Amino acid sequence: MTTTKTKILIADDHPIFLKGLQEVLEDEAGLQVVCKASNGTDAINGALNRDLDIAILDIDMPGANGLQAAEQILAAKPAVAIILLTMHKAKDAFLKALEIGVAGYVLKENAVIDIVHAIAAVERNHSYISPEMSSYLLKQKNRPAMGTAGLLDTLTASEKKIVQLIAQYKSTRDIAEELFISEKTVSNHRMNISRKLNLSGKNSLLRFAIENTHEL
Overall pTM > 0.85: no
pLDDT reported for residue 149:
62
188 and 107 in a single domain? The answer is no
Q: pLDDT digits over 174-198, tens only?
A: 899 999 999 999 999 999 999 888 8
The answer to whether position 1 is within a domain reads no
Number of domains, the chain: 2
* Three-class DSSP category at 70: helix
Q: pLDDT digits over 15-37, tens only?
A: 999 999 999 999 998 999 999 99
Q: pLDDT digits over 59-69, tens only?
A: 999 989 999 99
CATH assignment at residue 17: 3.40.50.2300
> What is the pLDDT averaged over residues 103-117?
91
The answer to whether position 160 is within a domain reads yes
167 and 95 in a single domain? The answer is no
Q: pLDDT digits over 70-82, tens only?
A: 999 999 999 999 9
167 and 126 in a single domain? The answer is no
Instruction: State the residue range of the domain holding 120.
Output: 6-138
- Distance CA(72)–CA(202), nearest Å, equals 16
